[in-house]
Structure 1
């Protein structure tokens, strides 16, 4: 599928989705959000794809925020609808995706850009990354899940400070906070992210789908994560991957998971 704002490529089981609006610092407009939904949907349906990497084009920005010009004149109803649609179409969609998604954060990840990175299953950052939720400086709050996911990742106090001050943190501080898993040089960002993706791909894709469901359940109101884990654990026993994994272990050989 051809995109106006993205570059989507698949190589050796890794789908790389690159937001390609460098002149706008890869800012999220409505068209880009829709295209991202379609790109993630297509990658998730491709049985050859085992990991998805999301990044931004150029060295300056992963995503520098939302395209403010699109909603500067919205009223209360339109603002609420904007947040609800965006969360359902993209941010919640990525979080619940059955294929692992890694954000490779290069440069600025601000506002909707940081919210997008936080919706991914985990994050790798280049040393030049700057992250923050500056929405209160515009008289609004994060609307794509930022007030919920940031405290889950860095804790309530740090999240309160980051959002209230509208400030940015650098890559090393993000690593200290637990907002990103790894920090590396700009040149090595994609190589390290792909290396981690390769480690994931050696394991059972069926089991990894179950892991995503079980871990996400811990963060949903009214859902017992332990029960979800028990259910997903039991379901694994009925898969071909479980049979292959246990047989390979007993036979002291490397497993060749069929992904079923």
Structure 2
């Protein structure tokens, strides 16, 4: 695993056309603004490369897939504009996945929280392990999963999204996530998942590129307004993060995790 306090994004493209995008951050693979921007650029780069046939999106380590937003940066937000800009980072990543001409497979090896659930939902197909429980905890700190909600609701529907949001402090199991449609396949361990992922990605890479692009367009029909919609949602979150309630909740979180 990379030893980088600021985290990093890597991209490799195999001879068979499987582009693997991997992200890492020492704070449970959370995503500060700089990494969100780099992730967006990397997804765009992989999608535009003629050698790419299919994209695999993964994180490093064996535990948390993605803990969502960087709480350190949330505490540093001092005005609505900065808040909107921060949450727009998640909007850009989701829209990059949506508009990529290549099928994206997410590899979820561990827990996904907040924006991490949004990343899984933004993929076209998702493989996970039994350790990949999910939680949308935003309501508990005074905001809501507004930016990622269109992507998550598209996959699991309104009733499941309501449960996931209202039960803000409760993790739902990987099998629950599969039953609701977020995950397509769930495996007992990482080795089994990676074996299935390799088989699937190689098979997809062998298919007709134009057929895959056409399928991608069909999968995302009806989402053409998301550039504007997700930016509007980012503005809502950007305002709420400044509230006294949210600032106190974030402070309490840091105190709890430092004791």
SS of residue matched to 1:153: helix
1:85 is displaced (CA, Å) by 4.4
Q: Summarize the alignment of residues 87-236 of structure 1 with structure 2, pairs less than 5 Å apart.
A: 87=91, 89-145=92-148, 147-166=149-168, 167-184=170-187, 185-220=189-224
Give 3-state SS (helix, strand or coil) of 2:143's partner: coil
Asked if the contact 1:15–1:53 (Cα under 8 Å) also holds between the matched residues in 2, the reply is yes
After TM superposition, list the pairs within 5 Å mapping 1:12-161 onto structure 2.
12-21=16-25, 23-74=26-77, 75-87=79-91, 89-145=92-148, 147-161=149-163
Write the deviation string for residues 182-218 of structure 1: whole angstroms up to 9, x where unpaired: 0112212222112111222222111211221122113
> Scaled by the length of structure 2, what TM-score is found?
0.78
Structure 1 residues 73 and 4 mapped into 2: Cα distance closer, same or farther (>3 Å)?
closer
2: CA distance between counterparts of 1:126 and 1:86? 24
3-state DSSP class of the match of 2:191?
A: coil
Q: 1:180 Cα shift? A: 0.5
Structure exhibiting the larger radius of gyration computed from Cα positions: 1
Unaligned 5+ segments in structure 2 are: 1-5, 227-259
| Aligned counterparts of 1:158 and 1:220: Cα–Cα separation in 2 | 24
Match of 2:243 in 1: none
How many aligned positions are there? 217
Kept in 2: contact 1:83–1:143 (CA 8 A): no
> TM-score w.r.t. structure 1 length?
0.77
Unaligned runs of 5+ residues in structure 1 are: 223-260
